[in-house]
Structure 1
């Protein structure tokens, strides 16, 4: 899967002179947590997040009354707090790399640019949804976890056994336990995998979980 398959296309944007309270209302109304900031020509200038708005306060706030603070906050605009250090990606980037960028840079979203134009935004939630879809979590079936030696052909052998039982594979994932041991998760479109599990064991594989 690629960013283009998971992103929100044509995201809601705001202008830099938008009051921060108005930006916050737009987020709440549309159930989103970030807004790209563009100029009148549509050029991307920055991004503002719900967290930035909720935590912002004028520097002299500690000496002001609550009424004076609210007044100053009401006068603040998005351009005063937006993040100008933008992290952008191509719609053709795969979601694994997108997730890695978010993790390494500790950010919750990536702006998607194509031919210098903003075409979408992809968030952590979008990444999670894509992973859940890849694992087939929302589909009914049976989950089998097999532990085996990390060797060429192990997965192919397992899938051949599944094929012989005429069971469809919904999702596959693997986790390296050590240099030589790997766990393979198969999510299968069957409610009863008992015969398959017995066959997998007879072929020398260790089944460590069935659910």
Structure 2
């Protein structure tokens, strides 16, 4: 899974000369929490709700609302933006992006190659990718199997399902600490769940669950 397959390609951005007030308005308008700062087609920083809040006068200030608005309209994004921005390549794996987010305690990564931004990936994009890969929200049947983690195990599962003339739409493998593996298989169509469960059991698989899923669209 590559970052380019899950990133948001339409990037809303500002320049260093954009006022803080304008940047805040842009975030509210589009329902976003951060904006890349672009200058001469290159990423030079990142402005977030947090950096704007830090730049805004405290509620305890003696300034009037007009004076505060004046300051926000005078202050430029380039004065408050984060300059040391953590980025990721569009060719990097989604797992690399998640690792970077966790390591730096951040929820967004501009996607940059050769100083040019081509997208942005956020923690929400990662959540959506997980749902897509797992087959969440699709009609079908999800089978959860517990088995030894050995050569040919997945091939055997696929063979047993294909014998029933059924199609697999998604698979997820989850290693366990005891050396076994959980394999979740999403299968399309209508069929006898108990018959399939019995077939897996007869062939040495522990069936931990078999449930029908419905469309969430």
The equivalent residue for 1:147 is 146
The equivalent residue for 1:31 is 31
TM-score, normalised by the number of residues in structure 2: 0.87
Given that 2:22 and 2:73 are in contact with CA atoms closer than 8 Å, whether structure 1 keeps it comes out as no
The equivalent residue for 1:181 is 180
Q: Secondary structure at the match of 2:166?
A: coil
Return the alpha-carbon distance in structure 1 between the equivalents of residues 149 and 49 of structure 2.
45
Distance 1:56 1:152, change over 3 A: farther
Q: Secondary structure at the match of 1:133?
A: helix
Matches within 5 A, 1:53-202: 53-58=52-57, 62-67=60-65, 68-192=67-191, 193-202=193-202
How many residues align? The count is 209
Q: Secondary structure at the match of 2:195?
A: helix
The equivalent residue for 1:43 is 42
Gaps of 5+ in 1: none
Distance 1:157 1:80, change over 3 A: same
Gaps of 5+ in 2: 212-217
Deviation at 1:152, TM superposition (A): 2.1
Return the alpha-carbon distance in structure 1 between the equivalents of residues 127 and 198 of structure 2.
33
Deviation at 1:187, TM superposition (A): 1.1
- Per-residue Cα deviation, 1:65-91 (whole angstroms, up to 9, x for no partner): 453444434433212321111112211
Distance 1:69 1:31, change over 3 A: closer
Given that 2:89 and 2:112 are in contact with CA atoms closer than 8 Å, whether structure 1 keeps it comes out as yes
Return the alpha-carbon distance in structure 1 between the equivalents of residues 17 and 181 of structure 2.
54
Given that 1:36 and 1:48 are in contact with CA atoms closer than 8 Å, whether structure 2 keeps it comes out as yes
The equivalent residue for 1:206 is 206
Given that 1:10 and 1:118 are in contact with CA atoms closer than 8 Å, whether structure 2 keeps it comes out as no
Deviation at 1:199, TM superposition (A): 0.5
Distance 1:65 1:115, change over 3 A: closer
- Per-residue Cα deviation, 1:70-116 (whole angstroms, up to 9, x for no partner): 44344332123211111122111121211221122111111112232
Given that 1:18 and 1:78 are in contact with CA atoms closer than 8 Å, whether structure 2 keeps it comes out as yes
Return the alpha-carbon distance in structure 1 between the equivalents of residues 96 and 16 of structure 2.
30
- Per-residue Cα deviation, 1:172-192 (whole angstroms, up to 9, x for no partner): 112222141221111111343
